[in-house]
Chain A
């Protein structure tokens, strides 16, 4: 059959295809489809900034308008990746600026972004619209000022949980008077006070502003005046909610909130006094998302708030909600899809907080649409896991953190193997799973066999031997990201399943028993994997069989990276010489 689709027809069809997974499939059909696809892809996603070079990406996608990049491994969020590991944004920004000036959106997660990067973005991309930095670091408020000052059509500026060198609140005044295009502004992670009058003016001249997330330095008074300027907000992150108890202050606040008829999402609420919660009651019926993870509100004030939130879909809260609070959520918040419960006393044994596995069981029973869970709890039971799996087979994300490492089922003293088996078997659509508590190798046999759609798996303090890793790597057909800490195995399973690693984005293992010798072998066996040994001490200073502190293995077409710090050891591959010559940087 010599029929060929004229490129224009294919282009037209492709304009309806947004998902990158689908576009990746399209590009594999044949050369001409590859060419047409690459010339029409506007939104590019790079899940690991070291998997491919900036040059390759900019070359392949000349019409790129939006780039999303991820850098450090996920465990960097919990201080497991030493500072200076890498994830630099500069090479990417430089490459994009050199190629074209039409980039409009940059989203980066866990990357090192400097002021130079931000200045380069501002200077290079004439129609720059969206900057979202999540868990990034390396820049100061000067860099933000550059973006504010220069990007005339800026719509979105979001700094989510970034570590920013805060040189003061002046950056806000750099938005020119002509700037009226803002749709979303999030500076909740900054410490310094901004001038409220500047912020009021900015908000007043931004009719499209829908999302505003303030930092804790903004007071309640400031919040009131801002809400008056922007009653059209759909997402609000308040500043500090602490204030002197004054009746006029309370009624002003209440009134300001009641005018925000479109508010759907509420967060911030630092230091909120329970007496001020009623000011929020008017917006509760419309809320779909509520983040109380910084609010040390206790029972029964929490229930008073939550029972009014009948449309709530997403709830992030501290364990101060207790079992009875979650029981209330189960009966009032029938639309709930996502629940996250954080520990209020992470450094001490939270035995005085009446939050147990029962809380999650209540919600699993009462909230039919529940599909995403993150739950911190001191201990758990298999019975609870059975119930959760049975009631909520539609779970897509289940992350349970039993805070006490190696804690068995506290009622039967058995490992939590059977409970997690029930979850893996019952929740057929599970995409993300984090396990904890006392787990033997058996648990991983079940997970390997049944968790067919799990893409990301996190494990801590679990298992007995290499069998655990063997089970996971020989099963889990959709596995893309595996992160493991403090588990007693390493070499054998890793080497046996080396090929599996190329089907995954990355594998992280810290405080396990992977030896340097195994790392060398693996690296040599698999040319398209970067095997990084992250260790304070040079691996050669110890016997090859002794375990290394951390390893990070990821597939790449870019070869070993050139920007590693002293404590990262990558094994250079030399295909000609094979085994005999292995240079270590």
Chain B
């Protein structure tokens, strides 16, 4: 048990004097006072530092919920990360029970999700130490009787849509950069690129599976969307560990609700998964550099739906596990797609693509489209602002690359 604490404290600055607490004047002196209390209590090991860490977390949480997320000052996100740091240190100092270690990992994840990197991304370092602790415990224990692979997935009777020949998204195998640019990027035409991700470790070295994800990220906390689609009233977001998400929404599919780990930068949070993928070479045809590319994970059971919408960047949608039905509409036909009037949803169509209300949206059926069933190993190029509708046909894991 002392090993956990010594590993954690080894990751921290040796002395209190070397522990940086520099903030702009935006952060009030009273708050800095509490931070200094936390720091002092961390190094003198006295006082109720768990409580003081909580004060920092609660104060910064309120700041993070003030105004729009985009406009939240980075100082408050840093402050939140400091709160997580002190809380994790307090947890690990007290004991190293499985429940405590899990709570500490969750705290690190909250800091990674909502905070900003501090002290050389120390929260990521803490996660590694904590996952190690879990790993040590498992190697000492016998394998639990009900093995992970024993969990049977509910098998869906999947109705795979038949793609009409004249509507099919064109396919090309390993095009050169020049031909991709000339034939698809410049004219902004969708295309499925085959054979360009076969080399991914996600296919070769550690094929992605439920078991693999549980091993690599099972205890990590991630945001999950609950509800059939984000335009629904019942739709909400919650935070679950990957294990909980798999247990609740993948293995035993909920009768009433779908869960979707959607649009989440999982690969920043779990570096091991980032090593399993590669940024497509074709992204170099864009203007930004690699740091400007947003990589999102999309992991969920069959039946998840992303309503017809458009994004402000080019997109490579790489399919790793399972199949997805995708339909694409050109931005030229936007009026036939009846976008929502609300500012918040103006990039989303009001129409339910696979069962459109022809009375309310008569022009929709006249809009031309392309469609496909995207298979594992294939990458769909979705040009910027191209409307797209996605429905998973079975357990699915996709990786999207947003680039400009």
Mutual binders A and B: no
Contacts from A to B (Cβ < 8 Å): none
Contacts from B to A (Cβ < 8 Å): none
